[in-house]
Chains A and B, each alone.
Chain A
Amino acid sequence: MASTDTGVTGPTRAAIEARTLRTDRWWVSPLLTFVVFSAFVVYATIRAFMGRDYYASPYLSPFYSPCLGDCVEGASDFGQPFRAFPLSAALLILIFPLGFRMTCYYYRKAYYRAFWLSPPACAVAEPHQAYSGETRLPLILQNVHRYFWYAAVLVGLVLTFDTVLAFRNAEHEWGHMGLGTLLMLVNITFIWLYTLSCHSCRHTVGGRLRHFSKHPVRYRLWTWVSRLNVNHGRYAWYSLFSVALVDLYVWLLATGTITDVRFF
């Protein structure tokens, strides 16, 4: 790789052969990202195309929420406008959270590094000969991130609704709670932390202003979002795990592999 004569081994640069002289284990982080993201993508793809075992009353898997296709009974709280859709109902709505995460400023950093090696780590030469960043199609589409954020807010509201519904028992009587409820609570917390710490959110609530002093409320909001934004990457990971975990739990319940632990 990296025999690029336009990069660090180029003619004007200090003559050093190595792509990097870093002595630390710089490859651990991109490798870990690669493995975990790949695993998630494989798992999510399988589950999204399965089209079954996504509902175990009262729990609905977040991959299938809102369930707008030809869904099992009890799963569709918002009707079934796409009843005719022949494939898995997950495919109707997954595009929104997927698009939100694909265009997310944190995920971009993570997958450009781990999958595209552009660059694999700081001061480690990348293998590509040419580079145009996000100036052309398709990557120029990253600029639509804020639209996916608008959608992600809606998805967040729906998942919040699902979590409220999880305070029922299998017979839809209110005032109950099980391990699934707890997992969904944890999940929705991370989902909101991730959604509200988004850079586009930070921009929209106040970052775009030039005079904070003239917009005290938006300035206050901006300082809150800024505080969350520092941990955006962390919330991205936590919410990725939590969403997969809730889905896995529902799957195991739906297939009867385990039974729900009821608290009350």
Chain B
Amino acid sequence: MSGYLLKLRIWRGDKDGGEIKDYPVEVSEGEVVLDAIHRVQGTQAGDLAVRWNCKAGKCGSCSAEVNGRPRLMCMCRLSDFEEDEVITVTPMRSFPVIRDLVTDVSFNYEKAKELPAFAPPERDADGKRRMAQIDVERGQEFRKCIECFLCQNTCHVVRDHEDNKPAFAGPRFFLRYAELDMHPLDTHDRRELAQGAAGLGMCNITKCCTEVCPEGIKITDNAIIPLKERVVDRKYDPLVWLGNKIGLRNKDYDGRTDS
């Protein structure tokens, strides 16, 4: 197995300041950036702070920026870089830094709390629920989300404008709004809330969330834009309004109440 000395640089510091430091480290074939970080931790800097769990791209803990690009460190193969290339690892730059590669991602957990939960009707008479596979598939795509928050991190609405954070839920939660609005059983109409409290209108669909999603979820095309179109149905479409008036209307939102 061929090994080489990786020119690794890591941002070290905390909220009072920090800098990018050199940590040249021995790596071998088939390894990922997180392996190199762990080797630094085990041999050069025992107190290097980094979050990680599954190391398999399934838990979404090891989010960071590798050469400026938001990535999961465990899915970032060294073989994708030249052997003499310098690799710079920094924490996510949209969230307050705690220490080294660890950031305070509580913004996302706060936003999760603001979202009204799924509200199903009663079960069928036999105690089960029935949904067609094609009706749950759109939601299933969004539920692949591993909450790595790379989309939240890369979204310029909050990355470049701290002041937008209170009014903007971010791509991860637009996924959730879309999932629930497309849910075949949910009894809430979430369109008003998505536009208002969640700040859907702030999104200018520049698609960076989709670009960085390690799960390959088509966040913009399948969740955000359909959600914007649903909001248009509700708020900006006089034809829909007219249809409602004369009884020619889509009955798909029947039985739903504003959440």
Contacts and interface: CB of A to CB of B under 8 A. Distances in A.
Direct contact of A and B (CB under 8 A): yes
Interface of A: 4, 6-8, 10, 12-16, 18, 20-24, 105, 108-109, 112-113, 118-119, 122-123, 125-126, 128, 130-135, 139-140, 143-146, 199-200, 202-203, 207-213, 219, 229-230
Contacts of A125: 156, 159-160
Given A6-B163, A13-B97, A21-B90, A211 B211 contact: no
Given A22-B69, A23-B68, A123-B70, 9 more contacts: A7-B160, A21-B65, A21-B88, A24-B69, A123-B208, A125-B160, A128-B160, A199-B226, A210-B183
B91 A14 contact: yes
B206 A118 contact: yes
Interface residues of B, number: 64
Contacts of A119: 156, 159-160, 206, 208
B103 interface: yes
Contacts of B13: 14-15
Given A21-B65, A122-B154, A219-B134, A6 B19 contact: no
Contact of B161 (A14, A131, A229): A131
Contacts of B236: 143-144
A14 B69 contact: no
Nearest to B222: A226
A206 to B, nearest CB: 11
A118 B201 contact: no
B232 interface: yes
Contacts of A118: 156, 204, 206
13 contacts: A6-B163, A8-B93, A16-B20, A16-B93, A23-B68, A109-B205, A122-B70, A125-B156, A125-B160, A134-B201, A140-B201, A208-B233, A211-B135
A15 B161 contact: no
Nearest to B253: A210
A154 to B, nearest CB: 15
A133 B237 contact: no
Given A122-B211, A208-B229, A133 B157 contact: yes
B221 interface: yes
B154 A6 contact: no
Given A122-B208, A229-B221, A14 B18 contact: yes
A11 B250 CA distance: 49
B22 interface: no
- What is the predominant secondary structure among interface residues of chain B facing chain A? mixed
Contact of B159 (A8, A112, A133, A219): A8
Contacts of B235: 143
B229 A8 contact: no
A22 B228 CA distance: 31
Interface string B128-167: 0000101100000000000000000010110111111000
Nearest to A210: B252
B49 to A, nearest CB: 12
A30 B13 CA distance: 33
B11 interface: yes
Interface in B184-208: 184, 199, 201-208
B174 to A, nearest CB: 13
6 nearest CB pairs, A to B: A21-B68, A22-B68, A133-B202, A213-B132, A12-B96, A122-B208
A22 B67 contact: yes
A105 B160 contact: no
B135 A131 contact: no
B17 interface: yes
B72 to A, nearest CB: 14
A134 to B, nearest CB: 5
Nearest to A128: B160
Contact of A123 (B97, B154, B161, B207): B154
Interface string B217-242: 00011000110111111011100000
B237 to A, nearest CB: 7
Nearest to B203: A133
B96 A13 contact: yes
Given A208-B233, A208-B252, A212-B135, A199 B221 contact: yes
B17 A15 contact: yes
Nearest to A5: B162
A212 B90 contact: no
A200 B229 contact: yes
A125 B69 CA distance: 12
Contacts of A15: 13, 17-19, 97
B237 A123 contact: no
B167 to A, nearest CB: 9
Nearest to A121: B208
Interface in B1-39: 11, 13, 15, 17-20
A134 B90 contact: no
